[in-house]
């Protein structure tokens, strides 16, 4: 197992305040053994202490075959002769999980957070939670996913005579983008770079790893060698952030003219034109009094803002600048706001 991931150090860390973390985040290149480590940890905790676990998925349909998806690999490696089964409950809102007929945990869907809240008394025996693939390769997150994630944890971490129980969450995934909603909400995006191995925050710790053995095995694959120039191979083998592109992140020199304000995910962004250079720049210093104010999503819409689809001339002009390589951005957040606004 020396060539595979070992989360012992991550689990031993204290958070930035010296307290026991409740969220443990682990990312690295694919096939490094992250999921195997944490799945085994959950089962071992159940076998030794009777500690039940909750497997968190995004959507209800993902609960189908959850026992096989979770247990097949680790059964063959560590728990031969045993079997995990699942039983759908609450009209499929959640599944009960069993190992050799003994109730060991649950599988729940984030998108059913409201129904889970109403059934919260059923889950007060969950001792730990696991959210695998917490970063989506296609940015296919639930609407208001982080809010639903918090709701599900709150529903689970109540009862047993306590207002709030300690229920650790293991979040495991591959390095897709530092702009994933969890990193943004926890303030990780601004602090993370390729030099960071371990990161401590308030209530959480994060490990950004790289497994050389897994990378070499991926790159030695004949299939992957055939697609060596493809960005996905770099992501899966070398832990390159798949959806991040730092091109054009720089501030132009000169004196700009303010031309518009974007409101995206509750935050305002300023768009400025450097006419002499033919450059448009986006930063997080917005002029809230400027009349040209655009809301990117319906959730961002408010008084004195115009919905994006009604700003065709302005957006068309911005697309022209973008398509001709004339946009610059303060950081990846600003770039994301522009990309969302200009997307068709």
Write the pLDDT tens digit of every residue in 33-52.
899 999 999 999 999 999 99
Q: Which residue's structure tokens are 């979770």?
A: 70
| Residue 182 neighbours by CB distance under 10 Å | 20
CA atoms within 13 A on the CB side of 21: 22
Mean pLDDT of the residues in the chain: 87
pLDDT tier at 139, thresholds 50, 70, 90? confident
pTM of the entire predicted model: 0.78
Q: What is the mean pLDDT of residues 64-80?
A: 95
- Which structure tokens are listed for 282? 């986006």
- Beta-carbon contacts of 324 under 8 Å, excluding residues fewer than 6 positions away, are none
Whether the per-residue pLDDT at 288 is higher than 70: the answer is: yes
Q: What is the mean pLDDT of residues 287-298?
A: 84
Residue-level pLDDT at 191: 83
On whether the CB atoms of residues 263 and 306 are closer than 8 A, the answer is no
pLDDT tier at 299, thresholds 50, 70, 90? confident
Write the pLDDT tens digit of every residue in 249-274.
999 999 999 999 998 988 999 999 99
- Which structure tokens are listed for 153? 């944890």
Distances (CA, A) of 130 to 25, 167, 189, 238, 279: 10, 10, 22, 24, 45
Q: What is the mean pLDDT of residues 327-332?
A: 92
pLDDT tier at 238, thresholds 50, 70, 90? very low
Write the pLDDT tens digit of every residue in 191-203.
887 778 999 999 9
Whether the per-residue pLDDT at 19 is higher than 50: the answer is: yes
Closest CA to 283 of 341, 338, 246: 338
Residue-level pLDDT at 57: 97
- Beta-carbon contacts of 225 under 8 Å, excluding residues fewer than 6 positions away, are 219
pLDDT tier at 114, thresholds 50, 70, 90? very high
Whether the per-residue pLDDT at 148 is higher than 60: the answer is: yes
| Residue 305 neighbours by CB distance under 10 Å | 17
On whether the CB atoms of residues 239 and 210 are closer than 8 A, the answer is yes
CA atoms within 13 A on the CB side of 71: 22
Rounded Cα distance, 332 and 247, in Å: 10
């Amino acid at each position: 197992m020396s060539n595979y991931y070992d989360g012992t150090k991550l689990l031993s860390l204290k958070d930035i305040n010296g307290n026991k973390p409740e969220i443990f985040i682990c990312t690295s290149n694919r096939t490094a053994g992250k999921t195997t480590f944490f799945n085994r940890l959950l089962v071992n905790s159940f076998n030794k202490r009777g500690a039940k676990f909750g497997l968190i998925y995004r959507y209800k349909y993902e609960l189908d075959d959850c026992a096989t998806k979770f247990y097949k690999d680790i059964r063959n490696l560590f728990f031969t002769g045993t079997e995990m089964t699942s039983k759908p409950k609450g009209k499929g809102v959640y599944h009960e999980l069993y190992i050799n007929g003994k109730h060991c945990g649950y599988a729940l869907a984030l998108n059913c957070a409201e129904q889970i809240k109403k059934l919260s008394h059923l889950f007060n025996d969950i001792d730990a939670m696991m959210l695998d693939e917490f970063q989506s390769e296609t940015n296919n997150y639930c609407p208001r996913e982080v809010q639903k994630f918090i709701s599900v944890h709150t529903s689970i971490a109540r009862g047993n005579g306590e207002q709030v129980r300690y229920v650790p969450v293991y979040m495991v995934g591959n390095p897709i983008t530092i702009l994933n909603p969890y990193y943004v909400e926890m303030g990780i995006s601004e602090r993370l770079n390729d030099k960071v191995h371990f990161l401590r925050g308030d209530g959480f710790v994060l490990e950004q790893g790289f497994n050389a053995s897994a990378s070499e095995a991926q790159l030695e694959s004949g299939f992957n060698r055939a697609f060596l120039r493809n960005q996905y191979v770099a992501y899966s083998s070398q832990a390159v952030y798949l959806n991040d592109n730092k091109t054009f992140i720089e501030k132009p020199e000169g004196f700009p003219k303010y031309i518009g304000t974007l409101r995206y995910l509750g935050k305002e962004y300023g768009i400025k034109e450097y006419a002499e250079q033919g450059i448009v720049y986006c930063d997080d210093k917005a002029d809230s009094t400027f009349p040209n104010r655009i809301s990117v999503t319906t959730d961002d819409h408010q008084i004195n803002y115009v919905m994006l689809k009604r700003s065709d001339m302005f957006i068309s002009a911005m697309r022209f600048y973008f398509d001709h390589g004339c946009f610059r951005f303060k950081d990846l957040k600003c770039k994301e706001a522009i990309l969302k606004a200009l997307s068709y």
